[in-house]
Amino acid sequence: MKITILSGSQRQNSNSAKVGSFAETYFNTGGAVETFHLKLENHPLPLWDDQISDSQLEEIWKPIHSELSSSDALVVITPEWHGMASPALKNFFLYCDSKCIAHKPALLISVSAGIAGSYPINEMRTSSYKNSRICYIPDHLIIRNASNFCKQYQDPQDQLIKDAVKRFHYSLEVLKVYAEAFTQIRASESIAIDQFPNGL
């Protein structure tokens, strides 16, 4: 099984990427899950426009496309910025074609410095799936007081953080179950993306 972790903050040393690294370590422990961790802070994709040449696409997008295509599931992490998902993440979805992440389950995680964080989840659920066909699972996570969570993740002292870490691991396990099950959906002859490349 292979899972792509998409850390959507374009800010250096972001909490989103730290949370992504926690997920990466969790999946890699025991070796059962291979991961590809794409941190948009280190690999910023240029703002998409239709002038991007084929050779640029070949260089900046093809290696990522290939990792996505061979993945079974995704963890999609968005920071909360002014109550919105990050522009880098929304830009990422403009690069995706109708196949590379189609009918692949994804766990959404929102990372907030404060006590909010639900709007970016809502935004991603509303506006990133139509043509990509990514399938967000019903469970999602909102990491509030993110700096504190990241500081205490390895050795949580507060009961609240202990519970949050447990919930974090639980959701990663749930995603693995979806990842296994969704292979059947993608293998089905009823899936006809070439015939109906765009969602409605």
Instruction: Indicate which single residue of 1, 2, 11, 182 sits in contact with ligand FMN (rule: CB under 6 A).
Output: 11
Tokens of 99: 């196949």
Q: Compute the least distance from the CB of residue 187 to ligand FMN, in Å.
A: 36
CB of 76 to ligand FMN, least distance (A): 13
175-188 per-residue burial string, b: 16 or more CB within 10 A, e: under 16: bbebbeebeeeeee
Exposure b/e, 23-37, CB count within 10 A at least 16 = b: bbebbeeeeebebbb
Residue nearest to ligand FMN (CB): 114
Site for ligand FMN in 101-140 (CB under 6 A): 111-114, 116
Q: Judged by CB under 6 A, does residue 83 bind ligand FMN?
A: yes
Judged by beta carbon, residue 86 or residue 102, the one nearer ligand FMN is: 86
Classify residue 163 by burial, with Cβ atoms within 10 Å: 0-12, 13-18, 19+: exposed
User: What is the nearest approach in angstroms of ligand FMN to the Cβ of residue 49?
Assistant: 23
Judged by CB under 6 A, how many residues of this single chain contact ligand FMN? 16
Asked if 193 and 99 touch (Cβ cutoff 8 Å), the reply is yes
User: What is the binding site for ligand FMN (CB under 6 A)?
Assistant: 9, 11, 14-16, 79-83, 111-114, 116, 146
